[in-house]
Amino acid sequence: MDILDELKFDQAGLIPAIVQDVESNEVLMVAFMNRQALQRTIESGRACFWSRSRQEYWVKGETSGHTQTVKSVAIDCDGDALLIKVEQRGGACHVGYRSCFFREVSSDGNSSLIVGEKVFNPDEVYS
């Protein structure tokens, strides 16, 4: 039996993938994979995801050069989420931050505070 058969993909055939830096354990991003994206990731060692908005595959860093080399893939206890540990080159966030989680909710819950620093200018990368 293929280990991928044990995964619980949602009705659209997707499973959430939490992407974490292998050295710092910083959570970099959350994306979605279907079975083929996960298979491509395992075979190539490069993070491949399914874009829900564009309805197509994308390999992290193909456009920006900010790549993710996959070091491990873990499955949660329910088989409905993945933890992908990567070696991140450059920023993971498409708006220029190392992590997509660069904002924290303020203590009063009315706003967010930027806690990360931009590592690249997205206008230069995605123009």
For the chain, percent of residues with pLDDT exceeding 70: 99
Of 100, 90, 99, the C-alpha closest to 120 is 90
99: number of Cβ within 10 Å: 20
Q: Does residue 114 lie within any of the structural domains?
A: no
Is it the case that residue 97 has pLDDT exceeding 80? yes
Q: Does residue 116 lie within any of the structural domains?
A: no
- Residue 57 pLDDT grade (very low, low, confident, very high; cuts 50, 70, 90): very high
Contact 9, 82 (CB under 8 A): no
Contact 32, 58 (CB under 8 A): no
Is it the case that residue 120 has pLDDT exceeding 80? yes
Q: Does residue 26 lie within any of the structural domains?
A: yes
Give 11-48 pLDDT, tens digit per residue: 999 999 999 999 999 999 999 999 999 999 999 999 99
Q: Total structural domains in the chain?
A: 1
Q: Does residue 7 lie within any of the structural domains?
A: yes
Contact 98, 88 (CB under 8 A): yes
What CATH number is given to the structural domain containing 71? 3.10.20.810
Q: Does residue 10 lie within any of the structural domains?
A: yes
pLDDT at res. 3 = 86
Q: Does residue 117 lie within any of the structural domains?
A: no
72 CB burial (10 A radius; 0-12, 13-18, 19+)? exposed
Tell me the average pLDDT of the chain: 95
36: number of Cβ within 10 Å: 13
Q: Does residue 110 lie within any of the structural domains?
A: no
Q: Does residue 96 lie within any of the structural domains?
A: no
- Residue 127 pLDDT grade (very low, low, confident, very high; cuts 50, 70, 90): confident
pLDDT at res. 1 = 57
The single-letter DSSP state of residue 54 is: T
pLDDT at res. 63 = 87
pLDDT at res. 102 = 96
Paired tokens of 37: 């994206």
Q: Which domain holds residue 43?
A: 3-90
- The angle subtended at Cα 45 by Cα 40 and Cα 49, nearest 5°, is 45
Is it the case that residue 53 has pLDDT exceeding 70? yes
